[in-house]
Chain A
Amino acid sequence: MTEPLVVLKDVQKHFGDLHVLKDIDLEIGKGEVVVVIGPSGSGKSTLCRAINRLETIESGTITIDGKTLPEEGKELAQLRADVGMVFQSFNLFAHKTILDNVTLGPIKVRKQKKAAAEKRAMELLERVGVAHQAQKFPAQLSGGQQQRVAIARSLAMDPKVMLFDEPTSALDPEMINEVLDVMVGLAKEGMTMIVVTHEMGFARKAANRVVFMADGQIVEENTPEEFFTNAKSDRAKDFLGKILTH
């Protein structure tokens, strides 16, 4: 494995009585694409959100590119700027145009000039195939288009790593592929990605490693081929048996 970019060590978290993250140890290398799968309630979304501290953790450490995740404040904001995040529900800024959605971060956080930020934003929108919608508002776009804009918005910050929290779960079936295609493209270009998803096809096509979580723990880690054809743990076999039979 290449040098680790994201390192989680002995991370613990509870929601009340529920132990949502249990002894999480995970290293993600530069350029690596890690897919996190598991039954709902297994803590995979929480894990993803903990990496940029949208969820706090109780103990353990999370470091990104050698820096420990800071507490609230300016420093945390700076670190988040380097970590792209794509949400299940897109979360585009509803009162801003598509173009303004993409340029807000570069202008306010990276202090880029408006013209430069817009030029780059248009390139990114072109790349995800929604450049002709730049002046529209999010509600005027389809779910798939919105999610591609959300990816462009993250990319505009030139992140070191991108987190995807079930990016296709809220999409109509025919829109899933257009989003996955963009993600596969990113993976091929060497973007470091942590993807929580139920899309096994994406995992097979683009992932270097599959992490299987259940009940707040990492149960199994393996290459996609090995995991899907030859899972070791009973929990993983059971899960795969339920989803791969259709």
Chain B
Amino acid sequence: MGEILSNYDVLAAFWGTIKLSLLGTFGALVLGTIVAVLRLSPVRVFQWIGSWYVNTFRNTPLTLLMVFSILGLTFILGLQLNTQDLNSNAFRWAAVMLAVYHGAFICEALRSGVNTVPAGQAEAARAIGLTFGQSMQHVLLPQAFRGSIAPIGSTIIALIKNSTVAAVIGGGEAANLMSTVIENEGSRFSVFLVFAIGFVILTLPLGLFFTSMSRRLAVKR
């Protein structure tokens, strides 16, 4: 185990995982919120776009999205996120696909959060003259976020673990290094252990954090 840590830059690989997860989480939260607002808006067309997004990306395997980003978007359509460096291009596409894929889950978590907000809250917001956007921003979404911290937390933890899927396109993170190590050293239990512990270190505290936040920020009614 010690030789793996000294011969390979495991920390750098996990730093890649962390960066990928941070970018993916940020993107997923933004996308998920936008799509949730679309699905909740009174305009039919927006609702359709929102449900199309969720149904498409929630039901497509992440591996397919990753492979599509390189084979389809980069090689066939020529859409490159970094023209100089193939690895960086793959890393950026991996972040985008993580965001796109998990955005669908964040949207649904948020929507279930909105359903925990009593209808009277929205009525009161409209009654004092807030527009749809304002009542979303100041009344509904803040309460919905607080009501959906636990499922959003689960989605983020899933996102961190799913970042390993980026290995299929060489996204420069922990699972990528793990396959290199296995190639060079053979598959040994210690290899597995090093990377498993790494992920536990990343996700376990987060899980505890989200649980305590969901309790602390719960809206009292």
Contacts and interface: CB of A to CB of B under 8 A. Distances in A.
Residue with the highest number of chain A CB atoms closer than 10 Å, among B121, B128, B146: B128
Contacts of A72: 42
B215 interface: no
Interface in B107-152: 118, 120-121, 123-131, 134, 138-139, 142-143, 146
Interface in A87-102: 87, 89-95
B188 interface: no
Contact of A80 (B128, B139, B143, B220): B128
Contacts, number: 75
B46 to A, nearest CB: 13
Given A87-B120, A89-B120, A94 B219 contact: yes
Interface stretch (A103-111, A113-121, A171-179, A185-193): A103-111
A52 B128 CA distance: 10
Interface residues of B, number: 22
A102 to B, nearest CB: 10
A54 B126 contact: yes
A93 B131 contact: no
Contact of A81 (B42, B128, B138, B139): B128
Interface in A177-214: none
A215 B39 CA distance: 37
A105 B120 contact: no
B221 A104 contact: no
Given A72-B42, A137-B220, A91 B129 contact: no
Given A91-B120, A94-B121, A94-B143, A139 B220 contact: yes
B143 A78 contact: no
A65 B127 CA distance: 17
Contact of B121 (A77, A85, A93, A108): A93
B129 A95 contact: no
A150 B130 CA distance: 16
Contact of A77 (B124, B130, B146): B130
B148 to A, nearest CB: 13
Contacts of A84: 127
Q: Classify the secondary structure of B's interface with A.
A: helix
A81 B129 contact: yes
Nearest to A109: B129
Nearest to A106: B128
A153 B128 contact: yes
A85 B127 CA distance: 6
Nearest to B147: A95
Contact of B129 (A93, A137, A140, A157): A157
A91 B42 CA distance: 21
A91 B130 contact: no
Contacts of A246: none
Given A94-B219, A95-B219, A104-B138, A80 B129 contact: yes
Contacts of A93: 121, 124-125, 138-139
A52 B143 CA distance: 24
A132 interface: no
Interface in B169-189: none
A91 B221 contact: no
A91 B124 contact: yes
Given A91-B121, A94-B143, A52 B127 contact: yes
Interface in A35-87: 52, 54, 72, 74, 77-85, 87
A105 B134 CA distance: 10
A154 interface: yes
B126 A157 contact: no
Given A94-B220, A95-B142, A154-B128, A108 B120 contact: no
B126 to A, nearest CB: 6
A47 to B, nearest CB: 15
A77 B129 contact: yes
A239 B40 CA distance: 42
A140 B123 CA distance: 22
A109 B129 CA distance: 6
5 contacts: A80-B126, A80-B128, A108-B134, A150-B124, A153-B128
Q: Which 3 A-B pairs have the closest CB atoms?
A: A81-B129, A91-B124, A105-B128
